[in-house]
Every structure is written in structure tokens, then in C-alpha cells.
Amino acid sequence: MAEETIFSKIIRKEIPTELLYQDDLVTAFRDIHPRTPTHILIVPNVLIPTVNDVEPEHEAALGRMFTVARKLAAKEGINDDGYRLIVNCNRHGGQEVYHIHMHLVGGQPLGAMLAR
């Protein structure tokens, strides 16, 4: 069994956090240390530690993360200018929280995808 992270507590509303979106598959809330004017985390309700743990049974939740990203980007008013969706995996990916999540970042020009 994978070890739960703070995100499971947020999903279960055991830690007071403003939820921007929640349904039976996914939950979205603002990053506690925003790197951009809009910085939202979209997470599956089920604990999947990393992309390496993704299975076909997770496809519904992972797909829902994209439709929720689209809706939240429109709600934030950043859809026309554009934004970036990021999923980090393990050490080289810079993953800190081992509950898979999609960062929705935008609200300013984001520059090159990777530092050169």
C-alpha cells in the first residue's frame, strides 16, 4: 500500500483548504506556494503515487484531470493567453508530493519549457 500524503487529507476535507473543484474522480485546489498568478493542483481522489504507478483502471480519473484543467483555465480567464500543465515524476522530475498531480500554471508568459 502506498503511503498517503497531505493531498489525501485535503481530498477528504480533513485539512481546511478551499476546493476549486471536486467530483467522484478528482479534486482541485490552489498550490500553497504559487509560482505563477494561477497555480492550481488537480489530483485524482484515489492515491496513485507517481506516473510509474498509472494503470488502465486510472484512465477515467486521469482523463477527468484534463477536462477539469480546461474548465478551471477558462474560469481563471487564462485560456486564451494559454497556460501549462505539468506532471512531475520522481527525483529527476522534481516530484515532492507522492500523490500524482497536475499543475495548472499560467497568468503570465511562462518562458521556455525547460531551463537551457
Distance separating alpha carbons of residues 68 and 70, to the nearest angstrom: 5
Residue 80 to residue 74: CA distance in whole angstroms: 8
Report how far apart the first and last C-alpha atoms of the chain are (Å, whole number): 38
**x/- track of binding to ligand 5GP for residues 55-94 (CB under 6 A):** ---------------------------------x-----x
Q: Residues 15 to 34: which contact ligand 5GP by CB under 6 A?
A: 17, 29-33
CB of 42 to ligand 5GP, least distance (A): 12
Give the long-range contacts of residues 61-65, CB within 8 A, separation 24 or more: 61/25, 61/26, 64/23, 64/25, 64/26, 65/26, 65/102
Nearer residue to ligand 5GP within complex by CB, 56 or 104: 104
DSSP one-letter string for 6-21 = HHHHHHTTSS---EEE
Supply the minimum distance, in Å, between the C-beta of residue 36 and ligand 5GP. Answer: 11
Residue of the chain from 51, 76, 95, 110 that contacts ligand 5GP (CB under 6 A): 95
92 catalytic? Reply is no
- Tell me the catalytic residues: 101
Q: In the complex, which residues of this chain contact ligand 5GP (CB under 6 A)?
A: 6, 17, 29-33, 41, 88, 94-97
